[in-house]
Structure 1
Amino acid sequence: MEISLKELKPNESAIVTSIGGSAPVRRRLMDMGVTPGVKVTMRKVAPLGDPVQINLRSYELSLRKAEADQIIVTK
């Protein structure tokens, strides 16, 4: 089942399948280690929903909700 990264609940894990958005945003996310095939775990969601904190490649990364919405994952 493919969903966007922002739809994950805290402590849920998924595998990145694709990254959408404009080329500069996609390149920046890939430079930060968000690449297809990597396992990500949702750690925290801010009280107002923005930003979200994920764990991937053994480090924590905070993303805006709009960026997380462009990352497609499979549970």
Structure 2
Amino acid sequence: MVSLIFQDLAVGDSARITGFDNAGRAYRKRLLAMGLTPGTEFKVSRFAPMGDPVQIKLRGFSLSLRKDEASVLLLESVTHD
């Protein structure tokens, strides 16, 4: 698997969360509560017209994240054959 950052993703790309980069404890707890846990796969659904926020689909629901929220996610690419 290839390691990447959220800004590398485009609409339709899939990734798996591997951890968090420099996120404070409270901030990490908030992301975990939103379902952004290590091992979770998601797909980028769309970007807002100005590029922020971004909508992702995970665990059967859609979630909108600001780029600064998404920037702390450590990711690896996922390809579905």
Q: TM-score range by the shorter chain?
A: over 0.9
**1:25, distance to aligned residue in structure 2 (A):** 1.2
**Count of residues in Structure 1 that have an aligned counterpart in Structure 2:** 75
Q: Find out whether 1:5 has 2:6 as its counterpart.
A: yes
What 5-or-longer segments of structure 2 have no aligned partner?
none
TM superposition score normalised by structure 1? 0.92
2:29 match: secondary structure: helix
1:18 match: secondary structure: strand
**1:68, distance to aligned residue in structure 2 (A):** 0.7
What 5-or-longer segments of structure 1 have no aligned partner?
none
Between the aligned partners of 1:6 and 1:63, the Cα distance in structure 2 is 12
TM superposition score normalised by structure 2? 0.86
Amino-acid identity (%): 39
Aligned to 1:38: 40
State whether residues 50 and 64 of structure 1, in contact with CA within 8 Å, keep that contact through their aligned partners in structure 2. yes
What stretches of structure 1 move > 4 A for 4+ residues in a row?
A: none
* Aligned-pair Cα RMSD in Å: 1.0
State whether residues 6 and 52 of structure 1, in contact with CA within 8 Å, keep that contact through their aligned partners in structure 2. no
Aligned to 1:74: 76
Between the aligned partners of 2:15 and 2:9, the Cα distance in structure 1 is 8
**1:5, distance to aligned residue in structure 2 (A):** 2.2
Pick aligned residue for 2:53 from 51, 54, 57: 51
Aligned to 1:64: 66
**1:23, distance to aligned residue in structure 2 (A):** 1.2
Between the aligned partners of 2:76 and 2:26, the Cα distance in structure 1 is 24
